[in-house]
A and B are shown apart, each in its own frame.
Chain A
Amino acid sequence: MKPMKIPRIKNGTVIDHITAGNAVKVLRILDIPQKQSFTVSVAINVKSKLGKKDIVKVENREIAHTEVDKIALIAPKATINIIRDYKVAEKHKVELPDTLVGIAKCSNPTCISNGGEPVESRFIVLDKEKPRIQCYYCDREPDDIASRII
């Protein structure tokens, strides 16, 4: 199937090199578009030199890289491009922060973070390159991180 073409954006953010098939999860992590009214374009399974990838384009909004870094959990090779007047004004690779709060659910059903307490889930990042996280509360490391994303 021919990849879907999506137009260039004048101003905004392009998240490129998302692991193929994970674009929707990236949007969920970034809480887009629920709380935003910006135009968002998503391309899934786009062919590239390094195989298939997903791309997300958010128009008229520059997403701070500290906000986007958490997507490294499921898209460790993603790049963030800030677009101004059709040109790439800034570009950087995502990097996981030291802790992740409220974006994944602990895989241990008897962890206190799953027990109706007034706390958000919290994970300590053990490995930023090959994402490994550990529950701050019960020390459990989820095997399949992507499936734990809230």
Chain B
Amino acid sequence: MDFTGKDIISIKDFSKTEIDHILKCAEKMIPFAKGEKTLTLLEGKILSSLFFEPSTRTRLSFESAMNRLSGRVIGFADPTATSQKKGETLADTIRMADAYSDIIVMRHPSEGAARLAADFADSPILNAGDGAGHHPTQCLLDLFTIFHEKKHIGKQNVVLLGDLKYGRTVHSLAYALSLYGSDLTFVSPKSLKMPREVINECKNLGATPTSTTKIEKALKNADVLYVTRIQKERFPDLEEYNRVVGTYQITMDLLKAVKKDLIIMHPLPRVTEIDPAVDQTNHAVYFKQAFNGVPIRMALLSLVSGVKL
């Protein structure tokens, strides 16, 4: 399987076989991602890290991944210090980054920005989030977390909880898990339901997702619980936000009736949706999930650079 030069814009650009290959490559990267062993696969290569929007985990894990592969990183995390401030177009910024580096990772507030960047660059573009659009490396690290913790991805009961309307990670994950035949349950307040087009996409892939507002019943047989934050910044109306925030909280009490091997994931940052007491349980894998951003991104950076893993 050859990923040389491939742009990574959306999870929908990948087949199940391709995703499987990436996950297996990421598994091999774990000891290197932890710094237990060293690698020089991308020695002499330069990554442009262009973050037009704030990010903690995505940016740091991409930069860590490139450093762990012995590559170098240039770029910015604050676009106000760039020529964008002078009115430069994204297309021109990308042309420059393309000339200065071998791979470009970019986060941008406009949907479709990564697709545009890919049209202007010869180097592979890795989309680190384009507005409310796609965030494929987050989806891959989510899948990798299930793969790593459960040893496979398949007919598990997966519950997606919280803001299913505005949360881009749950849209991509629902799509990808449908490829794997997972049983999906969507739990959200009525006003934050999974969009119909996402549900239809899942159905087109053969999945039969169910939607509910009740968390207790959904959790009973769950193998994976994926919690999301109610994102204040996405609400046009603050009153509506106040109505739904705090609807769900994962507490020790709620976990009394769940499967022993249930794993709880969260793309982070979290606010109040998971009680910190849960952090100490074997269910909590969200910090491991955040670490998994490094091996998955090491695998992707290597694969698009033409390295066979």
- Contact surface of B with A, Cβ cutoff 8 Å: 10, 89-91, 108-113, 115-116, 119, 130-133
Contacts and interface: CB of A to CB of B under 8 A. Distances in A.
A138 B112 contact: yes
Contact residues of A: prevailing secondary structure: loop
A111 B133 CA distance: 9
Interface residues of A, number: 16
A139 B168 CA distance: 13
Interface string A41-75: 00000000000000000000000000000000000
Contact of B111 (A117, A118, A119, A137): A137
7 closest residue pairs by CB, A with B: A137-B112, A138-B111, A138-B112, A112-B112, A112-B110, A112-B113, A112-B116
B110 A115 contact: yes
A11 interface: no
A118 B110 contact: no
B131 A137 contact: no
A108 interface: yes
Contacts of B110: 110-112, 115, 138
A119 B94 CA distance: 14
A36 B220 CA distance: 70
B115 A137 contact: yes
B113 A118 contact: no
21 contacts: A110-B111, A111-B111, A111-B112, A112-B90, A112-B111, A112-B112, A113-B112, A113-B116, A117-B116, A119-B116, A135-B112, A137-B111, A137-B112, A137-B116, A138-B112, A138-B115, A138-B131, A138-B133, A139-B111, A139-B112, A139-B133
